[in-house]
Amino acid sequence: MKKTVFLLHTALLILSMICFTGCSSTKTVPTSKDFNEWTSDSVAKIISAHDIPLIQVAGKIDGKAFFFQVANAEFYPTKTELPDTAIFQAASLSKVVFAYIVMRLADRGEIDLDKPLHLYTDIDRFADKANARKLTAKMVLTHRTGLPNWSASPSSTKWPTSTIDFIHAVDSCFGYSGEGFAFLQRAVEAIKGKGIDEIAREEVFGPLGMSRSSYEWKGCYDTLAVDGFNAKGENKGKGKHPRANVGYTLRSCASDYAKFLDALLNGEGLSDEMEKLMFTPSTGNAVRYAGKHRECDNHIAWAMGLGTEHSPELGKVLWHWGNNSTFKALFVLLPERDSYLVYFTNSNHGHDIINAMTALYFKNKKPLVLNEWIR
């Protein structure tokens, strides 16, 4: 049934896949006005208390779908300063969309998750070619490559030719790595013979109607993308990135990303086997900082591109955070409750509100461990 639904989405939205050149101006209408107004008032108080200029929130709780955008009057005195649906940097929420793409390709036999990636693309930038030849898509998606987060700042001019060194033995431990995702991106692009943004439009953005989302900068973002603010509340601009990178360059909005989470929650576009694999933890004790094992690490594991934890109150929790310094985002998905929450902020303080936001929507009495793990 879920494959039929996904194919129907694809058929209905094929024109948006072919003709996508910018961003739709269609507004998202919340399903429940009363629910929307009640939570938006609460969220307005939360962001005001934490000096966050702007937030977008979307989700589905107890069958109620919602989306809204709330601005902090201290930063935006009048509504005319903002588009109705602003575009944010999704930061590392970029990785989850890409992980879903890889799982779809694996479902169709276009990539083998356990096959060495050097058989798909080059390993020229790796200093240690022997270890580079061991890397697989599964290691990348579960962050067990042994690679650093980045070999150099990924938006810098030197990054594309920078040398990649290993900091851990391959497949020996959890080690969060954007560099690994970028390597897998090159393999996928080689397999498909096209750039990642075109691939994403065909596999995700088009079929799901995510008309405002892109790994590349679009002309409409000149007016729709908002500026980011640092910890001091200083405006640091929109932060254009020089190249599409699945680790961090996705631009989106909460209403668009909610469409993706809906598909993820329902397993749309994936076989039952691949859906189960994507959601099943394969990396236990995700120690975020090597040599600094924290108690919270014992409760976080990693599935295929997703963080996981078990909550005594909420059951299985799937999540990912995004941190591009002046843009921070988070989604939390509860498969056992058919519920999820996603928010985007344009502030360095965007993760200070994790406990407040999850408690507001999920009513959990005990904070989720992911808050401590992230912060």
Residue-wise pLDDT tens digits, 175-216: 999 999 999 999 999 999 999 999 999 999 999 999 999 999
| pLDDT score of 358 more than 70 | yes
Q: The pTM is what? A: 0.92
Residue-wise pLDDT tens digits, 284-295: 789 998 889 999
Residue 100's identity, in one-letter code, is Y
% of the chain at pLDDT higher than 70 = 90
Return d(Cα 181, Cα 135) in angstroms, integer.
11
Tokens representing 129 are 């070619």
Domains of the chain (ranges, CATH numbers):
2-19+32-374 (3.40.710.10)
β partners of residue 315: 311
Return d(Cα 354, Cα 370) in angstroms, integer.
9
